[in-house]
Structure formats: C-alpha cells, structure tokens
Amino acid sequence: MAKDFSTREENYSKWYNDIVQRAGLAENSAVRGCMVIKPYGYAIWEKMQGALDKMFKDTGHSNAYFPIFIPKSFFSKEAAHVEGFAKECAVVTHYRLKNSPDGGIVVDETAKLEEELIIRPTSETIIWDTYRNWIQSYRDLPILVNQWANVVRWEMRTRMFLRTAEFLWQEGHTAHATEQEALEETHQMLNVYADFAENFMALPVLKGTKSVNERFAGALETFCIEALMQDGKALQAGTSHFLGQNFAKAFDVKFANDKGTLDYVWATSWGVSTRLIGALIMAHSDDHGLVLPPKLAPTQVVIIPIYKNEEQCQSVCAKARELKERLERKGLLVKLDDRDTHKPGWKFNEYEFKGVPVRIAIGPRDIQNETVEIARRDTLEKNTYQMADLENKVAHLLDAIQENMFQKALSFRENNTHKADTWKEFQDIIANKGGFVSAHWDGSAETEQQIKEATKATIRCIPLDAAKEEGRCVFSGKPSSQRVVFAQAY
C-alpha cells in the first residue's frame, strides 16, 4: 500500500476520496458541487445501467425523455413536493449573454424569462403535466415509463457520488387505474432494486418503508433498500414511491374507468442514481483500493505478460493473446496489458487498485509448465492454475468471487446489527459500535426527531419482513408492536 493512500482505520473519509480519485472514477470539477465522472467510473455506471435497463424492460417498461426544465408554477401544485425541493433548486432566469464594455460577457437583462425555469430535481411535475394528455380512459393505462437523466439538487455539503449538486439517475414514473395495481408496481420495483443490489452489486439490503419524516415529498408511502457501509453507516440505495393520487390531483389527470366514471389516476415513481457507485466503493473496497464485483467490473480479467527480453516477450505475449481470445469467447471482459512502458509490478498494483476481480500473470516458466498464476482481488489469494480448460476455471472463479463478496458483506451486516432495548444501550451502540440498531419506536415523528438530535441516528426503514413483537419505545417507553432499524446514515 502506497504511503499517500489512507487506510479505512486511519481516515475513512480520506480513504474513500483517495479511492475515487486514484482509481480514476471521478474528480471534483470547476463547478461547485459537480463532479466529472471519469471513463473508469462511467464504465461502471454503464454496466449498472445495462443490467437495470434490462430488468426494467423485462418488467414491461419503456424509456422516454422529458424536458430538463420545469416551469416554476408547476412546483406549487403539489404542496408537499415544493416544500421538499424548493430549497435546493437551480433556477434559470435569463436566456442570453452579451458582451460587456470591459471585454467580458454579462447576462443580457433584456432576455429575462417571464416565468423562471427550475432545473429538474426530479420530474414528477413535468411528467404528470404531460400524462394529462396521454390518458383519457382505462385503455390508456397503465403507463410504464422510465427516464435516464441528469438532475440537480443544490446540496450545500457534497461528496463525490454520494451527494453531488448534479447527478445521473433513472426515474420511473408509472400511471395506473387502481390503487392496488400502483402498490404492486411499487413493490415490484423495490424488488427489482433489491435483486440488482444483491445479485449485481453483491450488496445485501434491507427492504422497508420510510417513516413520515424520511418520506419522499409528495408520496403516501416510500419504500427503500438500505445497505450498511464498512464504517457502520447506512446508505439508502434506492427508493420506490407510492404516490397515491397526489400528482394526478395536482395536475388534473383523470381517466374514465370501464363503467365510464371519471377518477384520478394512481401513480408510482422510483429511482436509483450514481450514488450506487459510492455504495459499491464503501461496501467492498479495502486498504489496497477498489474491489469490484465481477458482474459490474468493466474489466473482469487482466492478463499481464512477464518477460525479460524480446525473445521471451514473443512467446509469452503470443500465449497471453491466445488466452485472452479463449476467455473472450467464453464471454468474459478481458484486458491484456502488454505495454512495455510499465513494469509488471507497477501493473499489478494498478489493477489491484482499480479492483479488477482476476489477475492472470504469465511468464516463461508458465509457458514451459502450461500454467498461469491467478490472483483474485477479493481475498488477494494467488494460485497456480493449469492452462487446460482455463476459460471455465476463470468463469467459475468469477462466480465464486461474486458470491464471496456478497457473503462477506452479509456477514459484516449481521455482525453489525444489534438489538437495543434500553435508551442507554441504544446510545452506547450508536456511539461505540455503529451499524444497524433494531429497536422499538412509538411511531411518532417527535420521538424520531429527538432520537436524531441526540444521536444523529435516523430510522432507516421499517422492515417489510419484521416480526410482530410487543415492546416499548427505546426512547419514550410508549408501546410499540415491532422493531424498526436505526442508523447514522449518508
């Protein structure tokens, strides 16, 4: 481990930033709070997009695109929504610049918009204004649409991937004839997100609902997936909102049911963002750098030839190319780094730091023995493999790494989930252990707020699978019928 790179123990926050920057994932830009997503970070996002987009389409959704601008007046139409987003909106007021007498350029004050435009922090308002024209009768329903887009929320404290003023995401917006169908959609998409988190990101998640305090502005119910990071803090990894008829009422979207009666349309919305890349880093990476699950790694296998002279180079590199082709025919994403501008040791460190799941080294002795040396990134183990049938061995190894990463993260979460039955226990766990705290809560927003003020912990979710259990609120002592999950969170 290079000296200029922090360990998790030394400085978790610096460790995170070091990984983001040194692995070439992202960097801060000249614009406050906005990041540049660099090619390697964007390649991970493309892998995420590819997997999610297929899951959305397999469940009947289509993509579309709505304007980035939202007329200011649209925001006022749903009261809770404007309350939730008005404080962090980027506002476009003019549409022209002009030369200034001093040689620079200035805003042309004559080109002022009659109504200011908000850059979308989320698109419910502009989309429901559009859906009004798409929906007349039950035959026009359901509408199952998703959008891949950039959004802007003017956050004051930003952190790459986790919280940035502009970020990339997808937002699904569906319209239904019945409450039940909308609720089923909300659940379905929550399950899609949990499936993606667990099977692609190797990230175990809790599924639950949010308390009123943490609910999406405009939703009747917010469902979420919550993951635990290595510093014991929680991270909300995705949300699926049951919006009821709130936006249909705000934008007057009615449909005639099969009896000809007019009713408001039922709605859902759901989203995940580039924040997932932050979750991926914080859940799996170690003091040697990034660790990527094979299913989301832009490069799954790197092959590094080792040679001392031109003669060795020829035979070793020819064999390395042959192996690359064999692995690629198996469908694996392989990079052969045969550059002679860098030494093997430098390359080993580089790909280890970038989290490539499998590294294959091949030298002159390997050619003689028909072997290769394989290092797996998750455990850092090295083993010698016979070249015969290597493509299948490597494919199995990648599966094993994917599974091991999930199991490791699951064990971590289990070891860092504690029950608290008294306020003292609760405070002690939050202060000294971190992680998820399973505790009784009296169901009131006031209690949640007081717990937050005392410990910085919030209710991450009311788990969907929680057993009914009579108990007393850890803070107020009032009766409670099930435990909820608290944690400090990103």
| Residue 63: strand pairing partners | 146
Stretch that binds its own copies, among 4-12, 144-152, 325-333, 365-373 (CB under 8 A): 144-152
- CB 112 to its own copies: min, Å: 10
Q: Per rule CB under 8 A, is residue 296 in the interface with its own copies?
A: no
Q: Give the total of residues touching its own copies (CB under 8 A).
A: 66
Separation in Å, CA 85 to CA 33, 116, 487:
17, 15, 24
Record the tokens describing residue 311, joined without a space.
């003669």
- Cβ–Cβ under 8 Å, residues 470 and 481: yes
Stretch that binds its own copies, among 83-91, 179-187, 220-228, 300-308 (CB under 8 A): 83-91
Which candidate, 378, 472, 486, 475, places its Cα nearest to that of 433? 486
- CB 44 to its own copies: min, Å: 11
C-alpha 486, offset from chain centre? 20
Q: Per rule CB under 8 A, is residue 65 in the interface with its own copies?
A: yes
Helix (H, G, I), strand (E, B) or coil at 273: strand
Q: Per rule CB under 8 A, is residue 139 in the interface with its own copies?
A: yes
- Cβ–Cβ under 8 Å, residues 467 and 419: no
Residue with tokens 């590094």: 304
Q: Per rule CB under 8 A, is residue 433 in the interface with its own copies?
A: no
Query: Nearer Cβ to its own copies, position 42 or 242?
Result: 42
Q: Where are the alpha helices (DSSP H) in 330-432?
A: 344-353, 364-369, 390-415, 423-428
Stretch that binds its own copies, among 1-9, 129-137, 189-197, 378-386 (CB under 8 A): 129-137
Residue with tokens 């995170």: 16
Q: Per rule CB under 8 A, is residue 276 in the interface with its own copies?
A: no
Stretch that binds its own copies, among 94-102, 215-223, 345-353, 360-368 (CB under 8 A): 94-102
Q: Per rule CB under 8 A, is residue 58 in the interface with its own copies?
A: no
Residue with tokens 């993606």: 196
Stretch that binds its own copies, among 99-107, 303-311, 376-384, 475-483 (CB under 8 A): 99-107
Q: Per rule CB under 8 A, is residue 341 in the interface with its own copies?
A: yes
- CB 157 to its own copies: min, Å: 14
User: Residue 398: phi, psi to the nearest 5?
Assistant: -60, -40
d(C-alpha 237, C-alpha 230), whole Å: 15
| Residue 261: strand pairing partners | none
- CB 240 to its own copies: min, Å: 21
Residues near its own copies, by CB under 8 A: 27, 29-31, 34-39, 41-43, 45-46, 62-76, 82, 86-99, 103-105, 107, 116-119, 126, 129-130, 133, 139, 145, 149-150, 152, 154, 166, 168, 341
